[in-house]
Amino acid sequence: MSGRILAGPFLGFEGDIAYTVCFLSSKDAVDPQVVVDDQPCVTARVQDTPSGVFWRAEIVVQVVHPGHFHRYHIQSAGAMLRTPQDRSEWEFWVPGDSEEPRIAYASCNGFSSGDAKTKVDEPYGMWKRLVEDHRRAPFTLLIMGGDQLYADELWHSQRRAPSVVAWSELERDEKITAPASPRLQRELDRFYEALYIHRWSQEDIAWMLASVPSLMMWDDHDIFDGWGSYPTDLQSCPVYQAIFAAARRYFELFQLRSTKNTTLLNPAGGHYSFAVQCRAYGILGLDTRSNRTETVVMSDQNWSDVKRWLGSASGTVRTLLVLSSIPVVYRDFRTTEAALDITPWQEELTDDVRDRWRSRYHEGERMKLIMNLLDFKARSGSDLVKRVLLAGDVHVGCLAVIRDRRPSGPQRLIYEVVSSGIVHPAPTWSEWLGILASSNDTPESLEDGRITTELLEPYGSGIWLRTRNYASLQEGSDGKFWVNWVCENNLAPVYPIEGTA
Instruction: Report the topology of domain 1-96.
Output: Immunoglobulin-like (2.60.40)
Is the per-residue pLDDT at 59 higher than 90?
yes
Residues 6+ apart with CB under 8 A from 229: 220, 292, 294, 350, 351, 354, 355
Q: What is the dihedral of CA 134, 141, 60, 302, to 10 degrees?
A: -160
Residues 203, 321, 22, 155, CA torsion sign: negative
Give the DSSP H or E segment for 214: strand 214-216
Confidence of residue 333 (pLDDT cuts 50, 70, 90): confident
Angle made by CA atoms 61, 471, 68, in degrees to the nearest 5: 25
Average pLDDT over residues 80-92: 95
Instruction: Note whether 20 and 36 are within 8 A (CB).
Output: no
Q: For 213-252, write each residue's pLDDT tens digit.
A: 999 999 999 999 999 999 999 999 999 999 999 999 999 9
CA 467, CA 462: separation in Å to the nearest integer? 12
Percentage above 90 pLDDT, the chain: 82
Q: Where are the beta strands (DSSP E) in 225-357?
A: 274-278, 281-285, 319-323
CA 255, CA 216: separation in Å to the nearest integer? 6
CA 361, CA 294: separation in Å to the nearest integer? 7
Which residue intervals of the chain bear CATH 3.60.21.70? 106-151+199-223+256-497
Instruction: Report the topology of domain 106-151+199-223+256-497.
Output: Purple Acid Phosphatase; chain A, domain 2 (3.60.21)
Of 375-379, 406-410, 463-467, minimum mean pLDDT range: 406-410
Please measure the distance between the N-terminal and C-terminal CA atoms of the chain and give it in whole angstroms.
Answer: 60
CA 343, CA 340: separation in Å to the nearest integer? 5
Which residue intervals of the chain bear CATH 2.60.40.10? 1-96
Q: For 121-168, write each residue's pLDDT tens digit.
A: 899 999 999 999 999 999 999 999 999 999 999 999 999 999 999 999
The pTM score is 0.95
For 70-89, give the secondary structure using H, E and C: EEEEEEECCEECCCCCCCCE
